[in-house]
Amino acid sequence: MLFRTVADFTARLPNGEETSLAGKAGKVLLIVNTASKCGFTAQYAGLEALWRKYRDRGFEVIAFPCNQFGGQEPGTAEEIASFCDTNFGISFPLMAKIEVNGPNAPPLYQWLKAEAPGIFGSRRIKWNFTKFLIGRDGRVVRRYASMDKPEKLEADIEALLQLPFQPD
Protein backbone atom coordinates (compact mmCIF):
# COMPACT_ATOMS: atom_id res chain seq x y z
CA MET A 1 0.00 0.00 0.00
CA LEU A 2 1.21 3.49 -0.83
CA PHE A 3 1.06 5.81 2.17
CA ARG A 4 0.40 9.41 1.18
CA THR A 5 -0.85 11.10 4.34
CA VAL A 6 -1.10 10.47 8.06
CA ALA A 7 -4.76 9.52 7.49
CA ASP A 8 -3.57 6.32 5.76
CA PHE A 9 -2.28 4.91 9.07
CA THR A 10 -3.49 3.36 12.27
CA ALA A 11 -1.97 3.65 15.72
CA ARG A 12 -2.28 1.49 18.79
CA LEU A 13 -4.09 2.85 21.82
CA PRO A 14 -2.70 2.08 25.30
CA ASN A 15 -5.24 -0.75 25.65
CA GLY A 16 -3.85 -2.42 22.52
CA GLU A 17 -6.71 -1.52 20.16
CA GLU A 18 -5.86 -0.12 16.74
CA THR A 19 -7.36 3.24 15.86
CA SER A 20 -7.47 4.84 12.44
CA LEU A 21 -5.82 8.22 11.99
CA ALA A 22 -8.25 9.04 9.16
CA GLY A 23 -10.20 11.20 11.60
CA LYS A 24 -7.18 13.48 11.89
CA ALA A 25 -7.62 14.74 8.31
CA GLY A 26 -7.81 18.52 8.28
CA LYS A 27 -5.97 18.90 11.57
CA VAL A 28 -2.46 20.15 12.20
CA LEU A 29 -0.68 17.42 14.16
CA LEU A 30 2.47 17.23 16.23
CA ILE A 31 3.60 13.62 16.60
CA VAL A 32 6.29 13.04 19.21
CA ASN A 33 8.06 10.09 20.82
CA THR A 34 8.17 10.60 24.57
CA ALA A 35 9.75 9.22 27.73
CA SER A 36 9.08 9.82 31.43
CA LYS A 37 12.64 9.58 32.71
CA CYS A 38 14.50 11.71 30.16
CA GLY A 39 16.30 15.02 30.36
CA PHE A 40 13.68 16.33 27.92
CA THR A 41 10.67 15.05 29.91
CA ALA A 42 9.86 18.62 31.02
CA GLN A 43 8.82 19.21 27.39
CA TYR A 44 5.53 17.52 28.30
CA ALA A 45 4.56 20.86 29.87
CA GLY A 46 5.27 22.73 26.62
CA LEU A 47 3.43 20.13 24.55
CA GLU A 48 0.40 20.43 26.82
CA ALA A 49 0.55 24.23 26.57
CA LEU A 50 0.56 24.05 22.75
CA TRP A 51 -2.32 21.57 22.79
CA ARG A 52 -4.42 23.77 25.09
CA LYS A 53 -3.65 26.95 23.14
CA TYR A 54 -4.40 25.60 19.66
CA ARG A 55 -6.72 22.59 20.01
CA ASP A 56 -9.88 24.62 19.38
CA ARG A 57 -8.36 25.69 16.06
CA GLY A 58 -7.70 22.15 14.81
CA PHE A 59 -4.35 21.26 16.38
CA GLU A 60 -3.53 18.02 18.14
CA VAL A 61 -0.50 16.54 19.88
CA ILE A 62 -0.13 12.75 19.68
CA ALA A 63 2.49 11.20 21.95
CA PHE A 64 4.07 7.79 21.45
CA PRO A 65 5.95 6.63 24.54
CA CYS A 66 9.18 4.86 23.62
CA ASN A 67 11.74 2.95 25.71
CA GLN A 68 14.45 2.66 23.04
CA PHE A 69 16.67 5.43 24.33
CA GLY A 70 18.44 4.64 27.57
CA GLY A 71 15.46 2.66 28.90
CA GLN A 72 13.84 5.98 29.86
CA GLU A 73 10.24 4.80 29.45
CA PRO A 74 10.10 1.50 31.37
CA GLY A 75 6.54 1.82 32.67
CA THR A 76 3.28 0.21 31.67
CA ALA A 77 0.61 2.18 29.84
CA GLU A 78 -1.12 2.85 33.15
CA GLU A 79 2.09 4.02 34.84
CA ILE A 80 2.94 6.31 31.93
CA ALA A 81 -0.55 7.85 31.90
CA SER A 82 -0.48 8.33 35.67
CA PHE A 83 2.96 9.97 35.53
CA CYS A 84 1.87 12.33 32.73
CA ASP A 85 -1.36 13.27 34.51
CA THR A 86 0.21 13.74 37.94
CA ASN A 87 3.25 15.71 36.81
CA PHE A 88 2.02 17.60 33.74
CA GLY A 89 -1.79 17.35 33.61
CA ILE A 90 -1.55 15.87 30.12
CA SER A 91 -4.85 15.89 28.25
CA PHE A 92 -3.60 15.15 24.71
CA PRO A 93 -3.61 11.56 23.43
CA LEU A 94 -0.98 9.12 24.69
CA MET A 95 -0.73 6.11 22.43
CA ALA A 96 0.69 2.66 23.18
CA LYS A 97 4.42 2.39 23.80
CA ILE A 98 6.28 1.71 20.56
CA GLU A 99 9.73 1.35 19.07
CA VAL A 100 10.53 4.19 16.69
CA ASN A 101 13.63 2.62 15.13
CA GLY A 102 14.35 -0.83 13.79
CA PRO A 103 12.17 -3.57 12.33
CA ASN A 104 9.47 -3.21 15.00
CA ALA A 105 8.79 0.45 14.27
CA PRO A 106 5.17 0.82 13.14
CA PRO A 107 4.45 1.87 9.55
CA LEU A 108 3.50 5.38 10.74
CA TYR A 109 7.00 5.97 12.12
CA GLN A 110 8.67 4.40 9.12
CA TRP A 111 6.75 6.85 6.93
CA LEU A 112 7.45 9.87 9.17
CA LYS A 113 11.20 9.20 9.10
CA ALA A 114 11.20 8.70 5.31
CA GLU A 115 9.19 11.88 4.71
CA ALA A 116 11.34 14.05 7.00
CA PRO A 117 14.83 12.60 7.42
CA GLY A 118 17.12 13.98 10.08
CA ILE A 119 20.51 15.56 9.71
CA PHE A 120 22.57 14.25 6.78
CA GLY A 121 19.49 12.37 5.54
CA SER A 122 19.41 9.94 8.46
CA ARG A 123 16.06 8.29 8.94
CA ARG A 124 16.92 7.13 12.42
CA ILE A 125 15.39 8.93 15.37
CA LYS A 126 18.23 9.91 17.63
CA TRP A 127 16.46 10.43 20.98
CA ASN A 128 13.24 11.00 22.88
CA PHE A 129 11.05 14.00 22.04
CA THR A 130 11.77 14.06 18.31
CA LYS A 131 8.79 15.87 16.83
CA PHE A 132 7.05 15.72 13.44
CA LEU A 133 4.73 18.53 12.38
CA ILE A 134 1.94 17.47 10.02
CA GLY A 135 -0.10 19.95 7.96
CA ARG A 136 -3.85 19.95 7.46
CA ASP A 137 -3.28 17.98 4.24
CA GLY A 138 -1.86 15.11 6.32
CA ARG A 139 1.67 15.48 4.98
CA VAL A 140 4.83 15.92 7.00
CA VAL A 141 5.94 19.55 7.06
CA ARG A 142 8.99 19.36 9.30
CA ARG A 143 10.98 17.28 11.74
CA TYR A 144 12.29 18.85 14.95
CA ALA A 145 15.11 17.56 17.14
CA SER A 146 14.74 16.58 20.78
CA MET A 147 16.34 19.80 21.94
CA ASP A 148 13.78 21.92 20.06
CA LYS A 149 11.44 23.07 22.80
CA PRO A 150 7.72 22.95 21.98
CA GLU A 151 7.35 26.73 22.28
CA LYS A 152 9.87 27.11 19.43
CA LEU A 153 7.30 25.46 17.13
CA GLU A 154 4.52 28.00 17.74
CA ALA A 155 5.14 30.15 14.67
CA ASP A 156 5.13 27.07 12.41
CA ILE A 157 1.94 25.74 14.02
CA GLU A 158 0.25 29.13 13.76
CA ALA A 159 1.16 29.41 10.07
CA LEU A 160 -0.26 25.95 9.32
CA LEU A 161 -3.47 26.64 11.23
CA GLN A 162 -4.09 29.70 9.07
CA LEU A 163 -4.08 27.57 5.91
CA PRO A 164 -7.46 26.20 4.81
CA PHE A 165 -8.01 22.46 4.63
CA GLN A 166 -8.27 21.41 1.00
CA PRO A 167 -8.77 17.67 0.67
CA ASP A 168 -7.42 15.98 -2.46
Alpha-carbon separation of residue 48 from 40, 45, 111, 125 (angstroms): 14, 5, 25, 22
- List, in sequence order, every residue forming a beta bridge with 129; answer none if it has no partner: none
Helix ranges, 15-153 (H): 43-54, 77-88, 107-115
- Cβ atoms of 49 and 90 within 8 Å: the answer is no
- Cβ atoms of 144 and 131 within 8 Å: the answer is yes
Four-residue CA torsion sign, 72, 46, 57, 2: negative
The verdict on whether 38 is a catalytic residue reads yes
Catalytically annotated residue among 35, 38, 100, 160: 38
- Cβ atoms of 116 and 132 within 8 Å: the answer is yes
Distance of alpha carbon 167 from alpha carbon 13, whole angstroms: 26
Q: Which residues are catalytic?
A: 38
